[in-house]
Amino acid sequence: MSASLALSLWLQSARLQQQTGAALGSTTAPDSNWTLDLLEWVRTSWLSTKLAGLAGMDQAPALPTWAAAAIGAGIAVGIVIGFVSVVAMFSIWLERRVAGRIQSRIGPNRVGPFGLLQSLADGVKLLLKEDIIPSGADRKLFVLAPALVMASALAMFAAVPMADGAGFTDINLGVLFIVGISALATIGVIMAGWSSNNKWALYGAMREAAQVVSYEVPLGISLLVPVIVGGTLELGAASRLQSGWGGSCWFLFQNPFVLPAFVLYFIAALAENKRAPFDLPESESELVAGFHTEYSGIRFSFFFLEEYAAMFLMSAVGTALFLGGWNFPGIDLLKGGWLIAAQLAVFVVKSMFLVLLMIWIRWTLPRMRVDQVMVMGYKYLTPLSLICVVGASVWEVWAAVPFHERPIWMQLFTPVLVFGVCAVLGAMLRKQAIESAAQPTTRSRIAPRAHAAAH
């Protein structure tokens, strides 16, 4: 039944999207894909023609469609695996360095320049470690769990557009797809926790399931807001809709309710990724290591890799749907390959900035209590995100036309509001920080020795 429901939903939204795509005049993604173009280029290249000539043919024969599609996807997936590994390793290094900085120590700085190769060294070490499957474990599920988690992380990357026309695929139901596939990782985690036959792992997995399931609701609802504003579920098309104003017409500046929705999305994404202050499923002071207590060596590293890949992915979705994707002021002055490279750089830098924010939050805020975490998702985030959806849809219906056809005062209203709110909040925080720094009592309580040394 659920399959038929999903199918009908898919058909319906595909049809609706065609209509809206035509109505908005948005450029839909071309039917060809750059991986297929690459194959075609290889086929018609000088070397291939020479080789075909040796075989007595005029030109290299065209591949059958399915083979071309398979090889094209293979190229894409190879790039994605490389990209995911590099991004995850860089994020791990970044996390350790930032943590070191925040805790007044150095962090890894010995392996490679600035310790950049530390994660690689750790990976090699983990590969050489003994692999232990507990005697009481359900072996099949135990082995399958990290693979499922890794597969879901990779599949989510399939829908992320890094640059205009250079995404791995441009799925027309991108947002829905990502929300759906991210649930697959949860199943992998429950499998890991349950199959370990370990009490810590079981508690961790159950907490994880409850937490992820609770925060999936505000996450999904806050993702509705950019969908309302853009009228598309395709991440690439959404990014294209944000390219106005010389690359700064982000959804954030198109509707006043996108900013609160983004904040809610970010909080929910933290909880979805089990990041502090929501890292109850793996809180080491209560549950040793949570669901991966029994995992060691390279098997453990897959969970670790997935966590950082998922962090980047949630940031990438946030970038594409709220922060303008690959658009940046002045980027359209570039052309051709430079434009693609610049778009890629902008997208990765924006996403890494959000990852940095997640890391910063982790090392700044204390962990929440389990009941606070469970209550916050439904009692605060869900109603607030529903308010955002209601507000955004009322605003859009009132405006009635796509963003670029609105009167100029309406276009300028949201950017002014957003910058105003940010300025006021920033000033308040700054004032508070200055006041708290001026009070000697708090500082002497935290670090009496440092305070004494200062005098």
Partner 1 sequence: MYFDYFNVFVFLTTGLLFVFANMIVGGLVRPQKPTPEKLSPYECGEDVIGDSWIRFDIRFYTTALIYLIFAVEIAFLFPWALVVREIGMLALVEGFTFVAILLLGLVYVWVKGDLDWVKTYNASVKGGTEVEDRPAADIHGGPLPVELLQAAGVGPTITEQQTKGEKGHS
With respect to partner 1, which residue has the nearer C-beta, 190 or 346? Answer: 190
Q: 269-288: which residues touch partner 1 (CB under 8 A)?
A: 288
With respect to partner 1, which residue has the nearer C-beta, 94 or 156? Answer: 156
| Residue 160 CB contacts under 8 Å (≥ 6 apart), including other chains | 167, 168, 235, 313, 316, 317, 320
With respect to partner 1, which residue has the nearer C-beta, 379 or 430? Answer: 379
Q: 414-453: which residues touch partner 1 (CB under 8 A)?
A: none
Beta-sheet strands, E only, within 93-249: none
Q: 8-67: which residues touch partner 1 (CB under 8 A)?
A: 9, 12-13, 16-17, 19-20, 23, 33, 36
20-43: burial string, b at 16+ Cβ within 10 Å, e else? bbeebebebbeeebbbbeebeeeb
- Scanning 96-104, 139-147, 244-252, 337-345 for contacts with partner 1 by CB under 8 A, the matching segment is 139-147
Q: Does 176 engage in binding with partner 1 (CB under 8 A)? A: yes
Q: How far is CA 329 from CA 246, 247, 343, in A?
A: 5, 5, 11
Largest CA distance in the chain: 89
Which residue is listed with tokens 């290889």?
A: 42
Q: Which of 93, 142, 194, 326 binds partner 1 (CB under 8 A)?
A: 194
Q: Which of 263, 370, 384, 418 binds partner 1 (CB under 8 A)?
A: 370
d(CA 324, CA 318): 9
Q: Which of 61, 82, 136, 407 binds partner 1 (CB under 8 A)?
A: 136
Q: 93-132: which residues touch partner 1 (CB under 8 A)?
A: 127-132
Q: 70-89: which residues touch partner 1 (CB under 8 A)?
A: 70, 72-74, 76-77, 80-81
| Residue 293 CB contacts under 8 Å (≥ 6 apart), including other chains | 196, 198, 200, 201, 204, 287
Q: Which of 178, 294, 354, 381 binds partner 1 (CB under 8 A)?
A: 294
Nearest Cα to 395, choosing from 378, 413, 379? 413
Reading the block at residue 230, the tokens are 């853009």
Which residue is listed with tokens 């894409």?
A: 76
Query: Cα–chain-centroid distance for residue 133?
Result: 31
With respect to partner 1, which residue has the nearer C-beta, 70 or 428? Answer: 70
Q: What does DSSP assign to residue 200? A: H
Angle at the Cα of 185 from the Cα atoms of 373 and 226, rounded to 5 degrees = 70
Q: How many residues bind partner 1 (CB under 8 A)?
A: 102
With respect to partner 1, which residue has the nearer C-beta, 159 or 354? Answer: 159
Instruction: Say whether 321 sits in a helix, a strand or coil.
Output: helix
Tell the smallest beta-carbon distance from residue 332 to partner 1 (Å): 26
With respect to partner 1, which residue has the nearer C-beta, 171 or 340? Answer: 171
d(CA 90, CA 398): 45
Nearest Cα to 255, choosing from 63, 86, 390, 61? 390
Tell the smallest beta-carbon distance from residue 455 to partner 1 (Å): 43
Site string for partner 1, 303-342 (x = CB under 8 A): ----------------------------------------
Q: 195-254: which residues touch partner 1 (CB under 8 A)?
A: 196-203, 206, 209-210, 213-214, 216-217, 220-221, 224, 227-228, 231-233
